[in-house]
Copies of this chain bind each other. A is one copy, B any other.
Amino acid sequence: MALSSQSYKGTRDFYPQDMAIRRWMFDRMRQVIQRYGYLEYDGPLLEPFDLFAAKTGEEIVNQQLYWLIDRGGRKLAIRPEMTPTLARMVAARFHELAKPIRWFSIPNLWRYERPQRGRLREHWQLNVDVLGGDPLLADAEILTLAVDLMKTFGGEQNAIIKVNNRKLIDHFFGNVLGLSADAALKIVKVLDAKAKIGEEAYKAVLDGIGISADQKDKMEKFFSSSFADVSRAFKCVGTDELNALFDFLAQSGVKGESVVFDPTVMRGMDYYTGTVFEMYDTSPDNRRAIFGGGRYDNLLAIFGNYKLSGVGFGLGDVTMQNFLETHGLLPKIEPSIDVFIALPAAKYRLAAEQVACLSRNEGLSVITPLGVDGFSQQLKLAVKHGAKFVVLFGEAEFAEGKAIIKDLLTATQEVCVISGLHLRLKELAVAKAKGG
């Protein structure tokens, strides 16, 4: 029986057109990141299961992890996120690495989820992190970089970064509401998932925890207040940190409308301890965060007595591409080559191959059709490949050791000796590059 040619549910086949978009997106991001001096790293796709069990969060570990036992009996998981790998790598060379550590990576990640808009089972995610340094300066740098990423795509007007602080959340749920850490954690998780699970399920969880009417009132007030009101009513280390961050960002030139306070931003990961943030599309078409991140003070402690606070975010290709498409910010990326060498008869194939070889040595991109076909068929193929020039072998010219060069854009043509074709093609390509 024939196998299905479909890819596994929730994954994508990247045909050249799709791959060109992915590469274009991440190459642009890489350019921005390099202006900040961040260095690229990578880690293994499979990690010990325990690495994620430690701090990644219950939902992901119990419901979404792809895991297996290897032939040596080791329990491994396909990484659902990159931060634990980053922490492991930093811990492994803790004393050698100069701080602050500024690293980025673009891994593919896996989560078992119901595939839906903005969320697939496999996605690629830009991860940007700083470990060490003054937390205020590092948080500000990461957010500035995030805004710069949106700017490079021309999307800064269509996106907003919502910022909160875990210390403020802890203060509010613990000190103000008087809830246990466990109950607070449950509420934080359900709040984080509220948009996903709906109002009904959200209320059911609150009732299950046994929240009083007074506590509900306070929660409502907290979640609907401006930052100024929250800062007054619930002043704590968290609000102090937020104030310092917003002040610093405003002074260093990041506009206030792109970074705002939002007390509902929680982030699902267990390891966040300070600033947390998410970037949202202003269009209702895309309800999922484009990216999210935060500060983690104690993540390295799972590997031993290492103390180094970090801050970072992850930006997925699926949500980013949705964002760019929604706002018309994704250019049409067409393949292009310099030269297409048409092959109207078998006797020209050696000459064609030699011209191709010599032209490639000149740095030109060259395609031959790898077979004999009619001229109009091959011209179609040349156009499909985005060729700038076509080399044509004709009976009369070939007898004189010559061939025709046709410029597909201007539809002009010239005759050239075959032994000099590669040099002439190079000249023409350089001239065209300068002209356009």
Which residues in A have some Cβ–Cβ distance to B below 8 Å?
Answer: 2-9, 11-16, 19-20, 22-23, 34-37, 39-48, 50-51, 54, 63, 66-68, 70-72, 74, 76, 78, 85, 88-89, 91-93, 98, 100, 102-103, 108, 110, 112, 122, 130, 132-134, 137-138, 140-141, 144, 148, 248, 251-253, 302-304, 335, 337, 349-350, 353-354, 357, 360, 363-372, 381, 384-385
Contact = CB atoms under 8 A, between A and B. Distances in A.
Contacts of A67: 68
A138 B370 contact: yes
Given A2-B304, A66-B70, 10 more contacts: A2-B302, A8-B48, A13-B41, A13-B85, A16-B39, A20-B39, A36-B360, A63-B71, A137-B368, A144-B357
Contacts of A40: 16, 19-20, 23
Contacts of A108: 45
B37 A367 contact: yes
A13 B44 contact: yes
A127 B288 CA distance: 35
A14 B37 contact: no
A415 B30 CA distance: 32
Contacts of A370: 100, 130, 132-134, 137-138, 141
A91 B5 CA distance: 6
Nearest to A40: B19
Nearest to A130: B370
A66 B69 CA distance: 9
The complex is assembled from copies of this chain, and their number is 2
A335 B98 CA distance: 13
Given A37-B366, A41-B19, A46 B8 contact: yes
A44 B7 contact: yes
A371 B134 contact: yes
- Which of A2, A54, A67 gathers most chain B CB within 10 Å? A2
B248 A350 contact: yes
A78 B44 CA distance: 13
Given A40-B23, A92-B6, A144-B357, A122 B45 contact: yes
Contact of A46 (B66, B134, B302): B66
Question: Would you list the 7 A-B pairs with minimal beta carbon distance, nearest first?
Answer: A133-B370, A11-B44, A16-B39, A37-B367, A5-B92, A14-B42, A68-B68
9 contacts: A7-B88, A14-B43, A34-B365, A37-B365, A44-B122, A45-B122, A137-B368, A137-B370, A252-B354
A381 B98 contact: yes
Contacts of A372: 134
Contacts of A89: 5, 7, 13, 15
A50 B47 CA distance: 25
A34 B20 CA distance: 13
Contacts of A14: 41-43
Contacts of A337: 37
A4 B78 CA distance: 17
B366 A35 contact: yes
A39 B50 CA distance: 39
A3 B302 contact: yes
Contacts of A51: 3
A324 B359 CA distance: 26
A304 B3 CA distance: 7
A35 B426 CA distance: 13
- Which of A48, A54, A74 gathers most chain B CB within 10 Å? A48
